[in-house]
Amino acid sequence: MLTREFLKNADCQSSFGPIEECLVLSAEQRAASLQDFLARKPSSGPLWIFGYGSLMWNPLLDYDQVETAYLAGWSRDFCLTLVAGRGTSANPGRMLALVEGGHTVGRAFKLSCDSWEAELALLWKREMITGCYRPLWQTLTLESGRTVDALVFVANTEHTLFCANECLTHKAKVITAAKGPLGKNLSYFEEMMATLQRFGIEEPSMLALTEQLVKLSRE
């Protein structure tokens, strides 16, 4: 499992497994992406981050508040080719992202007010290694009924690692087979489903993918 110490010391080119140099954003590119994102912050209020995958169970963030949250217009999909972490270029997996349509229930984290830039720099190192995510400001509805503007990482559909309209059977086969330096791709999926169950979140598309994975395990 990732730790803050690992992220702080990680070399993006090799610490998650070898990645083709042409796919890796430089430290300067990540910093420029972060500054551009912060420049577009829609309000002067607290900074919230929406977690819908591993951020839900392993946020590694310095936050002072967390709530279940609803995001309209986006849904979970294992739609990014995973060439590091829990996959390799020779044995790629599938990474979770958000695609347009539907809705998603996840967890919203409010960052401690004195650590925005340091926390986001660490988060960019975790999520923006290749640029296959697009950071957006989106409106969340919190469990308490309030709405907040939050950072949401969605799939960059123009990226070479994006897989469009992939059938569930093939996706399940890839997830079952893939593994990398951080473990099995399937273990990530199982952790995500356990987390959704823990928070009472029902996700029809993920349940359908679960059925395919169970079917494969019986063959």
Residues noted as catalytic: 127
Q: For the stretch 45-78, what's the b/e string if a residue is b when 16 or more beta carbons lie within 10 angstroms of its beta carbon?
A: ebbbbbbbbbbbeebbbebeebbbbbbeebbbbb
For residues 12 and 30, what is the distance between their CA atoms, to the nearest angstrom? Answer: 11
Q: Which two tokens stand for residue 205?
A: 């598309």
Give the type of residue at 153.
F
Q: How does 142-166 read in b/e, with b if 16+ C-beta sit within 10 Å?
A: beeeeebbbbbbbbbeebebebeee
Query: What is d(CA 123, CA 37) in angstroms, rounded to the nearest whole number?
Result: 13
Pair of tokens at residue 169: 């059977």
Supply 62's token pair. 């310095």
Based on the number of CB atoms within 10 Å of its own CB, is 17 exposed (0-12), middle (13-18) or buried (19 or more)?
middle
